[in-house]
Amino acid sequence: MNSQLPPDPASHRGADVPDPDTASVAAGPVAKSEALTRVAFWAVGFMALLALLTGAALWQKVAGMQEQLARQSAEAQAQSLEARAMAKQAVTLAQDAATRTAVLDSRLSEVALQRSQLDELMQSMSRSRDENLVVDIEAALRLAQQQAQLTGSVEPLLAALKSADQRIVRAAQPRLALLQRAIARDIDRVKSSAVSDTPTLLIKLDELVHLADELVLANAVAPARQVEKNLVAPPKASVSWWQSGLQIVIAEARNLVRVSRIEAPEAALLSPEQSFFLRENFKLKLLNARLGLLARQIDSARADLADADAMLKKYFQANARKSQAASALLQQVQTQMRTLQLPRIDDTLAVLATAAAGR
């Protein structure tokens, strides 16, 4: 088997290669250039590798940044959605709060209005309580005064004054202190007043009515003996028989002619029929006075008694016993009628009027 050997490089170099010194000098730059090329190649490769590594690192970093940005973007979007939801909820809550605030403002205004109304009501009630107390006391006192005038007793008036004093003490109002002092003065005045006995006056008036039929008229024509009985007899002295006989003769003579002095000419002109009506009118005056006394019409009763007294003095004999007894009774009744007036409570009523006007 034939084998072909490779040609010898030396043979080839022997023919073409120049001198060894020259070849060594020429091979130095080539080797340097090759070394530089190799260094440049390795530098470029290193730079490329470094750029590749740097690019890979940058790419990885960019990828991480993208992931982080995506994650942050997702988180930001989620937070944005959450913030939007919270904003909507906040808006809803704000609207609810505004609505509640408006409702609370309206309720607060209503409460303030109600409070002002309650304050005014309490003040008016406080004022009206005092006013009602004054009005009630005045009405009670006037009613008690009417009852006292009808019954002729001061007990209703005294009880009303004491009740009014107790109500004022319970009220404890300083503005009613003046009224309390006036009531105390009127209570003392009522307690110290003396009121006439009305039943006694009625009995005396009844006696006068009964005496009316027995009174002797000023122009009455009667026997001398009857006239002597009605006249006030002088104190008797011891007389002899002839003096008594003379008196009998004189009395019989007086039956024939009667001479008398009458101050009022109307009394002498009364006929027997008119004397009956005169007595009845006298009785009516007394009965009217009695009714006026029972009705507590004191002025009317006094006027009737004055008319009856004038009739008694004008139409009846003043020196007759019955006339003198009737005149004495009539004077007693008139005197007691002067003290029959019930005590008045003008001080209390005046203070009540002032308190009522000052409300």
pLDDT tens-digit profile of 253-283?
A: 766 655 555 555 555 556 667 778 888 888 8
Name the more confident of 89 and 31.
Answer: 89
297: left (phi over 0), alpha (psi -120 to 50) or beta: beta
Which of 22-26, 266-270, 299-303, 325-329 shows the lowest per-residue confidence on average (mean pLDDT)? 22-26
* Domain coordinates in residue numbering, the chain: 127-194+347-357, 198-232+264-341
Q: What share of the chain is helix, strand, coil (3-state, %, to 5)?
A: 80, 0, 20
Q: How far is CA 62 from CA 48, 50, 51, 66, 75, in A?
A: 20, 17, 15, 6, 19
pLDDT tens-digit profile of 72-117?
A: 888 888 888 888 888 888 888 889 888 988 888 888 888 888 888 8
Global pTM value: 0.43
Give the residue-averaged pLDDT of 199-206.
83
Question: Given this model, what pLDDT does residue 269 score?
Answer: 59
* Residue in this structure with the two tokens 């009516």, named with its chain if needed: 284
Distance CA 353, CA 142 (A): 12
User: 264 near 315, Cβ under 8 Å?
Assistant: yes
Question: Given this model, what pLDDT does residue 42 score?
Answer: 79
124: left (phi over 0), alpha (psi -120 to 50) or beta: alpha
pLDDT tens-digit profile of 35-64?
A: 778 777 777 777 777 778 887 878 887 777
Measured in Å, how far apart are the chain's first and last C-alpha atoms?
161
Could you give the 3-state DSSP secondary structure of residue 252?
Answer: helix
Distance CA 26, CA 177 (A): 150
Looking at the chain, the whole-number percentage of residues with pLDDT higher than 70 is 74
Backbone angles phi, psi at 217, to 5 degrees: -70, 155
- When pLDDT is cut at 50, 70 and 90, the band that residue 340 belongs to is low
3-state SS string over 11-31?
A: HHHHHHCCCHHHHHHHHHHHH
